[in-house]
Chain A
Amino acid sequence: MNLYRSIPIIFFVTLVLNFPVLALSEGHDKGEDETFQVNEFILDHIADSHEFHILTLASGKHISLPLPVILYSKNSGFHFFMSSHLVHGQSYKGFELHTEGEFKGKITEENENGEILVPLDISITRNVFSMMLSALIILWLFIYLGRSYSKTGISEPKGIQGFLEPIVLFVRDDIAKVTIGEEKYEKFMPYLLTAFFFIWINNLIGIVPFFPFGSNVTGNIAVTMVLALFTFFITQINANKNYWKHIVAMPGVPFWLAPIMVPLEIIGLFSKPFALMIRLFANITAGHIIILTIISLIFIFKSIYIAPASIAFDLFLDMIELLVAVLQAYVFTLLSALFIGLAVKEESH
């Protein structure tokens, strides 16, 4: 791919893609309040939701894709229905979706005694929907890639292989081999590759601002937590004696330091995945917040003349976000590999 030739195309595409955000935001402005609430506007876009908002018409009518709601309540068992039953705060089967207040964005249930209960909510939310979509894209892309090798065999890479193979090799040579070592890296390749492409592709999807993309999947702390926990468990399960010895009784450290060292090591055990979780979440969410803030300037100033500056600056930020998308995928994968590497390393001294 010629990079220089694709830069104007990326610029153009990003420019075009920014307009739906404008349209979307405009709808919000006219639809609800007289004064434009920046905080709410931004948080609404970043947070998860039970429906997939597509656009708001000039009349103030919202067009959304209803998503399945799955609830488990101790009171009444499992429930499964579409989120379209809960729009505009209306109640369905005793469930209510709050748009403001203490339970904003959550579904609650009122029992016979008038008590408010919070059921277990495992709905297919916007983020789950987007994650499934991205999983399908990833599956299609990489199963196609995997199958293509049965045709080309071991001859030179062709077609999509030419684009994806160097990235796979980059993960293998510059992440796995370097941090885990030549002997043991192979076992962890599937996880590292899956994590890298899952994060990268979801980051990219998050940058595209219109339906069915734009969900803040990798900027959601639940998702990053799950990813970090995967790294954590893979690290602990594969850790060797040497690793545990370093935590419980660091060789070369006087025994009377143990009361300080052991708690520190145990904190370190958990701070590593915690840092992984926060880093990805904060980086991606921050990117989304900045882009949305710049767009919001148009509505704060209530002037179309701000738009060119906002769009130009957003273009610039989108470019940076493209870089951040791959950078954060790289950082997450690299650090995961590093932690795994530390846990499986043989004693060398």
Chain B
Amino acid sequence: MDNIANLMHGFEVALTAHHILLMIAGVLLGVLVGVLPGLGAPNGVSLLLPLTFSMDPVSAIILLASLYWGALFGGSTTSILFNIPGEPSSVATTFDGHPMAKQGKATEALSFAFLSAGFGALCGVVLITLLSGWVANFALRFSSPEYFAVYFMTFASFIGLGGASPFKTVVSMGIGFSLATIGMDSVSGNVRLTFEYDVLLAGVSFLIAVIGLFGIGELLLTMEEGLKFEGVAAKVRIGDVLRTATKLPRYWLALARSSLIGIWMGITPGGPTAASFMSYAMAKRSSRDPDKFGKGEPEGVIAPETADHAAGSSAMLPMLALGIPGSATAAVMMGGLMIWGLNPGPTLFTDRPDFVWGLIASMYLGNIVAVVIVLATVPLFASILRIPFAIIGPVIVVICFIGAFTAANREFDIWLALIFGLVGYLFKKLDYPIAPLVLAMVIGDKAEDAFRQSMIFSQGSLSIFWSNALVGTLMAIGLVLLFMPLIGAGLRRLRGQGETRTV
């Protein structure tokens, strides 16, 4: 067990007072940037990056990684309290987290979210510790067709889901896909759907869409419903945090399944966003009571949070071992690695074991520090809901618009967020689901690129998706997920007929 020995050495590197202080500072800053929509982890890390040039690489990566964990936790906070996901990967947390908050169970929702997130992250790190060499080689087997198959699985698991009609889901997904195509297309090098407006050149930022669709859309609905959050009267006690913690083991199955999905999506290039969506979909599908989902079911918070963080931490492995950034934040950190004089790649583990294992050890410590810190803030955040809506509502609007502006420092984005807000309101009124739109926006263009690259590889033949065991299996799972609701409905009908006959 070489890795365990290495890890112990890593703890020696990471466990100094200086590093623990950096972790606490990083997590606090991260929670702050995560809570403000629009600022987000990638921006936070870029802002801190120049500061780290004068630090030694181990301290620098510990600071940046802690900021990343903090931001992931902060992102979940606003998802639950205000229905505004601070990070793409915490969109799925809004589905049940926000209804829980509205029912006065904000403390419970936040505690569940943070605890399961911490659990998922630790699962991801354990995997890195034990299987680093194997995973790096496995990831090398992935090319465009396999990438596409992974994205296809995510979409397929989502189509037959939810109370909304499948057709509405497809419409919503279609709108998401077209929004994702706006801007420069990297496969052909052409500009698409910009109508010669320069502001559209960079595409429509996902963050703006989320701020509008979720944040502003939700506010419009709340105003219509009578200007108040129903959670106002809820009491906030620190004991509730502990009580929730004791309830967590009851959801062991959800935790285990979500960790697996998260780890899988983290080491394949699916990423945290796809992981959280897929985990939510699987939790709902396998639940005995799927109708409860979307109305404040704790499992609907636990599943996406666990998978999100499991994917977030296991995605560090491809970044270090292969040099593929698994997320926008990882891309910034990789830039940092190069400036500090480290080359991400297969030999980083042997060249700089102190750095790699110091980082891995700091992931254990950093996540524990993060969970403790954010749990301590739960009562504080939960009491925000007790402020009358007439005061907090306008504040949220202001934060939304500031967030929309800071995402890229463009005035145009503020108008865009407003338009998305109206669209979000209409979607809710007409009972169209928003989640598929968001999912298509986030991974739609990646799926498209992967598909078209595959077509270039095979010179136009679809058989490439069955050309080896790996991609064939992934596609088969995707197809099963896609048609499962149909098969399920068919089976139910058959069984129903059988019963009527026997009667």
Task: Tell whether A and B belong to one assembly.
Answer: no
Chain B contact residues, CB within 8 Å of chain A = none
Chain A contact residues, CB within 8 Å of chain B = none
